[in-house]
Structure 1
Amino acid sequence: MKIVVIGAGAWGKNIIRNLEELGALSGIVEGNNERLNAYAKEHPDLALYADWQAALASGCDAVAIATPTPTHHEIALAAVAAGKDVFVEKPMTHSSADARELAAAAEAAGRILMVGHLLLYQPAIAWIKDYVEAGELGELFSIRHERLNLGRARSAENVIWDIGVHDMAVMLYLTGEAPQRVRGTGHRMLGLSVEDEMHVHLEFAGGIRGNIHTSWLWPETQRRTVLRGTRGMLVYDEVAQAVTHHRKWIDADLTNRDEGSEVVHRGDGQPLRLELAHFIDCVTDRSRPRSDGDSAVAVIETLERINAAVAESSRY
């Protein structure tokens, strides 16, 4: 397996390290000469490129794209046209129109297209889905995601597109459907042209309600998912990598029930390794990734609906 990583910046370097350890790294594309020269010293046997067009002309099997989001569409489309399988970091594109075009192009060309929705590759998430579908919480009422910290603020995209995209992907994965209704509010505390904190409310056809709270300006790091049902509540603490089942609920006669709590699953600290190994397996087996192009399109479409809802709420 020969995979070229396009973009060796803050996140790209993590992809490079993991692909190297998986034995699949064949080249690096980086426009920053200083950074490229450093990689030349560290990896004398690797193919190094100053531009991605040269990399696509090489004999690599696939590319992993970790460049700024506005460049994803052009590079990924060109890679598909060049006969390469594609792993592209989240968000897949900056618009649903571009996302649909890219997904359709990959499908028509018979190429694997996988998007880096990292949280889907935490073993805890797949475990939670199976646990809920087995009826361990009874009827599911709601799913809430919290992703809060003193983060790296951006000026080009709001906080939901930056860090909330992970939770949006998980929300759609756990419910198995797009929301019927989307509402949201945002706050621009840092004086930027984009929201640095957002509250999102989603309503699904099956009756489940979803909530997402994201912020770059928060005193503590909180990354957790809370699911509530008729027979208890589940809390996935992403920081502690623990899933706790709180066997607490309120009966139909409004009687409070509390049968205690226990940690029912421990997560894994290396989702990126698992994610990239999944991509390699999909390329080898020609199988559809968990975070394929179609699922990424659904995420982008929902993010656009959130932006529209937040813009609407700001008018009042």
Structure 2
Amino acid sequence: MGDDLRIGLVGLGWFGGLHLQTWSGIPNAVVTGVYDADPARAAGLGAPSAQDGFHVHTGTEPEPVLDPGTRVFSSLDELLASGIDVLDVVVPEGSHAECVRRGLEAGVDVIVEKPLALDPREARELVDLAAERGRNLYVGHILRFDPRQALLRGQLEGRELRHMTLRRLFQPSALEVYGRVHPLDTAMIHDIDLAIWYAGSRPDRVTAFASSWHDRAYPDVVDLVLHWDGGLRAVIGNSWHLAASCPYGFTFECTIQSEGATFTARNEPDLHVWDEQGVRVPDLFFWPYHSGARQGALREELQHFADCTRAGLPSDRVPLRDAVRVAEVTAAARRSIESNTTVEVAAC
């Protein structure tokens, strides 16, 4: 590996553009090549997208652009053969597993946005493939890098947990993007991962409920109860009916009750902008742009993965066993919804 970590980015949608900008602010890392199945994406970086309606920005950041030295490839195979050290996978959820597999088989380390795979067996196969090929695989569970969640996780060390509630609400317009797969694999996966992280183990059973009010392929209200042997439960709620007048686009709140203490974390707007456009409350934690670069949890996450790659180490913040556990829980939740019963979480 040379002085710079050579990044190959696959996926140039809205979030791929954020990754591109974030990498440009990480020392000794450079995106040397990109590929998207839609060739027009490279030329259209920064074009208005559906996400702009509910992920509110500061309004001052520049649009993502390709560096003059970054090559645009016409296939994933060409990108993988270009001498990259790391493949960064930012494609729709259903394509994650295939891109990860091809990156590992090509002999490079891989960073992939959550979920690792939609099928837990496939997630386990990818973890085994990484070990077989001697490569590191990193899964982007970004909330583990949100300072609010990281501080909360530290406060829970050594405490016996008694109950958890996590609730995330989105505007219906978010379904134009995130409705491409089941809510379990988009919004709810964040909270399933947090519950596993907080508890330090995978739940033993899942009871799940779902309702559909919008005329779409997947439900728009989903509730889960995760059960651990010993009595701990996590109640996770997800709804896509938040009023459009909410200037933040989505809300989140979690409360953790432990022996002797209760902890609450909320995604609340700390910065308000009132101008001729109305009221805006920009994100300050996930990927805000200031001081000439993307900051926040996304930067912390990619910096962590870059450091791990350089050291040849797996991530201790997002262990692969937890990425597989999340996939096992989402699969159990699907079975619970279909059967209208409580189901065991099966290990793969």
Query: Which band: TM-score by shorter chain?
Result: 0.7 to 0.9
Residue among 162, 187, 190 paired with 1:166:
190
* C-alpha contact 2:161 2:199 (8 A) present in aligned 1: no
Kindly indicate whether residue 161 of structure 2 is the aligned counterpart of residue 140 of structure 1. yes
Larger deviation, residues 24-33 vs 187-196: 24-33
Which residue of 1 is the match for residue 15 of structure 2? 11
Question: TM-score when scaled to structure 1?
Answer: 0.85
Please give the alpha-carbon distance, in whole angstroms, between the structure 2 residues aligned to 1:181 and 1:33: 44
Structure 2 gaps, min length 5: 46-63, 271-283, 287-295, 342-348
Which residue of 1 is the match for residue 331 of structure 2? 304
Structure 1 gaps, min length 5: 242-266
Per-residue displacement from partner, 1:37-61 (whole Å, max 9, x unpaired)? 3569742211211221110111110
Kindly indicate whether residue 102 of structure 2 is the aligned counterpart of residue 81 of structure 1. no
Per-residue displacement from partner, 1:171-190 (whole Å, max 9, x unpaired)? 11111111111101001111
Task: Measure how far apart 1:92 and its partner are.
Answer: 1.2
Aligned AA (1:291): V
Which residue of 1 is the match for residue 35 of structure 2? 29
Instruction: Tell me how large the CA RMSD over aligned residues is.
Output: 2.0
Which residue of 1 is the match for residue 56 of structure 2? none
Which residue of 2 is the match for residue 52 of structure 1? 76
Which residue of 1 is the match for residue 148 of structure 2? 124
Decide whether aligned partners of structure 1 residues 51 and 133 sit closer, same or farther in structure 2, where only a CA change above 3 A counts. same
Residue among 2, 12, 20 paired with 2:6:
2
Name the SS of the counterpart of 2:111 in structure 1.
strand
Task: Measure how far apart 1:268 and its partner are.
Answer: 4.4
1:155-234 matches, within 5 Å, as: 155-219=179-243, 220=246, 221-234=250-263
Name the SS of the counterpart of 2:148 in structure 1.
helix
Structure showing greater relative contact order (alpha-carbon pairs closer than 8 Å, 6 or more residues apart): 2
Task: Measure how far apart 1:193 and its partner are.
Answer: 2.6
Decide whether aligned partners of structure 1 residues 50 and 155 sit closer, same or farther in structure 2, where only a CA change above 3 A counts. same
Please give the alpha-carbon distance, in whole angstroms, between the structure 2 residues aligned to 1:42 and 1:55: 15
Residue among 304, 321, 326 paired with 1:294:
321
Please give the alpha-carbon distance, in whole angstroms, between the structure 1 residues aligned to 2:8 and 2:150: 29
* C-alpha contact 2:167 2:253 (8 A) present in aligned 1: yes
Please give the alpha-carbon distance, in whole angstroms, between the structure 1 residues aligned to 2:99 and 2:66: 26
Please give the alpha-carbon distance, in whole angstroms, between the structure 2 residues aligned to 1:27 and 1:83: 16
Question: TM-score when scaled to structure 2?
Answer: 0.77
Decide whether aligned partners of structure 1 residues 98 and 228 sit closer, same or farther in structure 2, where only a CA change above 3 A counts. same
Which residue of 2 is the match for residue 150 of structure 1? 171
Identity %: 24
Name the SS of the counterpart of 1:305 in structure 2.
helix
Aligned AA (2:8): V
Kindly indicate whether residue 128 of structure 2 is the aligned counterpart of residue 104 of structure 1. yes
Please give the alpha-carbon distance, in whole angstroms, between the structure 2 residues aligned to 1:95 and 1:195: 19
Per-residue displacement from partner, 1:192-212 (whole Å, max 9, x unpaired)? 231111010011124211011
* C-alpha contact 1:148 1:214 (8 A) present in aligned 2: yes
Aligned AA (1:296): A
Which residue of 1 is the match for residue 24 of structure 2? 20
Aligned AA (1:9): G
Name the SS of the counterpart of 1:2 in structure 2.
strand
Please give the alpha-carbon distance, in whole angstroms, between the structure 2 residues aligned to 1:215 and 1:128: 24
Which residue of 2 is the match for residue 245 of structure 1? none
